[in-house]
């Protein structure tokens, strides 16, 4: 039987690009996008879905004979702090619904995105290993640690083939992310290309693990396609490619766009970033399913500028 995939949170920063990549691979009609927002007509097949609406979710899976779910719907780190209980409800109960569904409807595979936000101040900051203390301070991080544990539980207890990655901050040109702490690394490119001074909400020396979106999408698909016996981590895999601070990415952008300007005005997101780690040891992902990143800071910066220039040129 061929695969029929449901993507939740398909309009988000990762969802948009992942949905397109999955459609390339499995055929447009076999990948159903869903989200809680209206979507442009060119995103068909698309279904409106509130992840907390269990009845609707079950209907979709039954009506479309869904075999895999990529469950991306969630509230991110910065936005999560405005409404912690809502964030817990969407992030955790959304996942539980999907895992129960996987059990009852015998889904072949589930993907769950975790994040560097699972780390906290007790986690080793440099080359953070796979197995470390996880004491996050944001409700987003707490929901993702719990999510990782639930994934592992459903795998151990019910044999659900659920796989997960701890994404670093994701940099992409296809959309402007909202509600995260790493969003600055996308906004800075748009400001530079518009000739505006960028007001950065993190301090200049705040180093965080980051990744260019083509690497993140490829990692997701490679993980999901790896032979089941290779998947040894059922909480979530550390994943890395580059780490930089606002000052470092600004310097790199300036090599390509000498006019670029930045000022620093750290806000509450600075504390969130400071509670995370700065670089990641992803040797387990490399060993188990052959992960290797393609983009470093310089290659990513060049490509981001080229891609955003193309977007602006097409639209203006
Ligand atoms: C965020 O900043 O909240 C996300 C993440 C690192 O999970 N980009």
pLDDT in single tens digits along all 316 residues of the chain: 589 999 999 999 999 999 999 999 999 999 999 999 988 778 899 999 999 999 999 999 999 999 999 999 999 999 999 999 999 999 999 999 999 999 999 999 999 999 999 999 999 999 999 999 999 999 999 999 999 999 999 999 999 999 999 999 999 999 999 999 999 999 999 999 999 999 999 999 999 999 999 999 999 999 999 999 999 999 999 999 999 999 999 999 999 999 999 999 999 999 999 999 999 999 999 999 999 999 999 999 999 999 999 999 876 5
Shared domain for 136 and 271, answered yes or no, is no
Shared domain for 186 and 65, answered yes or no, is no
User: Which among 240, 245, 256, 247 is positioned nearest to 298, based on CA atoms?
Assistant: 256
Burial (Cβ within 10 Å: 0-12, 13-18, ≥19) of residue 252 = buried
User: Which among 282, 299, 286 is positioned nearest to 239, based on CA atoms?
Assistant: 282
Helix axes 184-194, 297-315, angle to 10 degrees: 50
Shared domain for 117 and 15, answered yes or no, is yes
Q: How far is CA 18 from CA 40, 70, 295, in A?
A: 16, 9, 18
The best mutation among 170, 180, 243 to test binding of ligand 1, ranked by most ligand atoms within 8 Å of the C-beta, falls on 180
Q: Are 194 and 249 in contact (CB under 8 A)?
A: no
Q: Are 241 and 293 in contact (CB under 8 A)?
A: yes
Shared domain for 179 and 228, answered yes or no, is no
Shared domain for 113 and 53, answered yes or no, is yes
Active-site residue, 295 included: no
Shared domain for 54 and 190, answered yes or no, is no
Distance CA 108, CA 149 (A): 20
Strand (E) or helix (H) holding 207: none
Catalytic entry in 140, 154, 184, 198:
140
Domain CATH number, residue 116: 3.40.50.720
Shared domain for 129 and 47, answered yes or no, is yes
The best mutation among 12, 82, 114, 181 to test binding of ligand 1, ranked by most ligand atoms within 8 Å of the C-beta, falls on 181
Output the pTM of the full model: 0.97
Give residues (CB < 6 A) around ligand 1. 76-77, 115-117, 140, 169, 180-182
Q: Look at residue 285 and tell me if it is in a domain.
A: no
Q: Look at residue 84 and tell me if it is in a domain.
A: yes
Q: Which residue segment(s) compose the domain that 302 sits in?
A: 173-209+243-276+296-315
Count of structural domains, the chain: 2
């Amino acid at each position: 039987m061929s695969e029929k995939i449901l993507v939740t949170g398909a309009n988000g920063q990762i969802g948009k690009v992942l949905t397109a990549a999955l459609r390339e691979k499995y055929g447009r009609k076999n990948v159903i996008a869903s989200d809680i927002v209206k979507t442009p007509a060119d995103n068909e097949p698309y279904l409106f879905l509130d992840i907390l609406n269990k009845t609707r979710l079950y209907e979709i899976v039954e009506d479309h004979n869904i075999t895999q779910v990529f469950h991306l719907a969630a509230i991110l780190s910065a936005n999560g702090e405005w409404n912690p209980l809502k964030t817990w409800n969407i992030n955790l109960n959304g996942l539980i619904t999907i895992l129960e569904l996987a059990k009852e409807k015998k889904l072949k595979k589930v993907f769950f995105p975790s994040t560097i936000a699972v780390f906290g101040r007790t986690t080793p900051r440099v080359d953070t290993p796979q197995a470390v203390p996880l004491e996050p301070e944001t409700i987003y991080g707490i929901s993702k640690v719990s999510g990782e544990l639930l994934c592992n539980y459903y795998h151990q207890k019910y044999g659900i083939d659920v796989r997960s990655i701890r994404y670093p901050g994701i940099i992409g040109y296809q959309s402007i992310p909202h509600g995260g702490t790493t969003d600055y690394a996308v906004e800075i490119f748009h400001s530079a290309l518009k000739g505006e001074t960028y007001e950065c909400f993190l301090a200049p020396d705040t180093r965080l693990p980051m990744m260019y979106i083509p690497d993140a999408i490829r990692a997701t698909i490679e993980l999901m396609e790896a032979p089941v016996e290779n998947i040894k981590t059922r909480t979530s895999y550390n994943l890395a490619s580059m780490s930089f601070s606002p000052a470092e990415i600004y310097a790199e952008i300036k090599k390509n766009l000498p006019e670029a300007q930045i000022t620093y005005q750290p806000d509450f997101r600075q504390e969130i970033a400071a509670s995370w780690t700065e670089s990641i040891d992803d040797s387990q992902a490399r060993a188990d399913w052959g992960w290797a990143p393609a983009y470093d800071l310089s290659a990513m910066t060049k490509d981001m500028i080229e891609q955003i220039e193309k977007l602006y040129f097409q639209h203006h």
